[in-house]
Structure 1
Amino acid sequence: MKDLANVLTSDSFYFLWEQIVQDFEHLNVYRNVLAVVGALYITNKTFQFLYSVAHGIATHGLSRYFPVRLTESGDWAVVTGPTEGIGRAFAIELAKRGMSVLLLGRNPDKLQELSDFIRREYKQQTKILVIDFNDPGKAYEDINDAFEKLDIGVVVNNVGTINSFPSFLHEMDDDEIMSMLIVNIQSVTKMTKLAVTHMRKRKKGSIVNVSSIASVAPAPLLQVYAATKAYVTSFSQAVNAEVKPDGITVHTLIPSYVKTRMVGYSPYLSTSLLVPTPETYVKNALATLKYSTYSTGYWFHGIQAFFVSSLPVTWYMYMIQRANLIFRNEYLSLHNR
């Protein structure tokens, strides 16, 4: 019996050892599979990083030495929302580069002042159309007439609106919400359609739709604004694919903070490397048009966008919510609310 027990113990140990060896062999297979998957993932991320760096250098670096000739598409440019901020900077910079400018905005006095300034300083023709994009009425018919009469090669859809300060949805006024939906979405849709319709006849043209870095992910406390800009980004990229065979390019700009009235709710958003002036931003943005149809338009914003896109969406949303809560509290404190 003792010998039998020894045999059984020996056999049990043998079978146990065989099982352990087989399990390790399976683990080696799994380990090899995981190693291959890991290597592919790292390779993919490395190529993405290198492509982003190369694309960024070409877009924001080489573009300075090989500027685009905007007048190749036509003698006239159209700018919406041109009386201040980024829109005004676009109108002036386009005039500097030899283009006549059609100015579309709601304040006739400011439009006239800008028109006179461009004529006086840059000797370019200007035309004015007074239009409130929040309540356009039949103004788009007048814009269509202008497209038929003028040699329009560039259209900058810049007009937009944002919360007066970062707010929770339940606090927002319904009129403020509807204004963002109408101005930020309807205007860019109608203006892009008008531009495409006329540019297809001439087989050339550039449309610049100003979106926002807020479009890359949901933005708590700027929820409606970010959603409207997500529409602009998606819409612009889709239309660009449609009209590319017709010689038309639709550019999507996704700037981060620029020192304009729209970010006046926080004193911390003052001019800096991260928050450029409208003039600095526009000079950089126009230089990128030849090299990219989707860009922040400004090199430091490009670095910011790269890191934002590398973060999990939940992390980014948390960071944005914290930042907007700070901006909100600053605004309420300054205005004694």
Structure 2
Amino acid sequence: MEIDLNKFRKLIPINSLYEDNLLHLARESTLERRSKGEILFEIGDQSPDSLFLMEGEVLEISVENQKKIVRAGTEEAHYALANLRPRQFRAQVTSETAVIARVDSKLLDKMLAWGQFAPSASTEGMEVAEFEGNGVEDGEWMMAMLQTSAFLKLPSANIQLLFQKMKEYPVKEGDVVIKQGDPGDYYYMIKAGRCKVTRPSDSGTTVLAELDRCDSFGEEALISDVPRNATITMLTDGTLMRVSKNDFLKLLKEPLLNWVDLKKASKMVREGAVRLDVRLESEFKKSRIKGAVNIPLYMLRLRAPRLDRTRKYILYCDTGLRSSAAAFLLSQRGYQVFVLKGGLSALPRHH
């Protein structure tokens, strides 16, 4: 089965993604056909996936035996089924069949955070991020880079700094970018052009690989602190983006963020701290913490000046990914910010 993109685009918060990221998420998601009576999950389930009802009907039953029917195509079905972990509901198929879209929650949350750092906004309501003086102007290239395996492993809060540290490096066909045996100095990403990876062999030179747009190279020598183990030569004219060894190593690790657990966060709230929910408005309306303030991540730059600098803020989202990105942005502006470990999933109950 293939995901119906028209239906997929209506799911919340998937509907706020850039189109390229939405398509990538759809490719990474799966559809499951379930039969009447099948249990999708039990109360207390810790599965990291978000389940969306695409076809059919599902019954949700709470710990207190409160029952609710969710039908595909309704406003309720635009949200993931009982998405808080551990699950507060048991979900059972009540229609003859049901189709479920299984989405990786962490990947979704990371893509929502990525939207904050894109240099051009094609999605309504998304704010344009500023990148000054670093030569990174190709939004299409940036969004493609954000979907590579290297960036999938990168903490969300590092992404803006990494793009700011990148320097454009024009190259010509035949240029040797990296020479085997040299010390590592830069990490490279290909914005345009192609290159080859070679090493000497008994027969002369062996081509190990050819690299194309959005491929990256040079990390092994930087991480391991050993000489370059291959030579990289340009096959065409092109443009590389490069980051110095120090910046690369620093940005592999999550920036220093102030993380707090639920107990510490509750104590801080009693002492006057403000809970700041950085999810979308629609997510906040669907489920919220009493007394929390909602400023979606994409609106943070615009609304930050309204915040009281004398107050402490505890930021949260579903998993902690968007809130860590938000904390990075606010801390740059001098606010006292803390991130709730695990996001809403850290809460025993959510209303």
Give TM class, smaller chain: under 0.3
TM-score (norm 1): 0.23
Q: Which has the higher helix share?
A: 1
TM-score (norm 2): 0.22
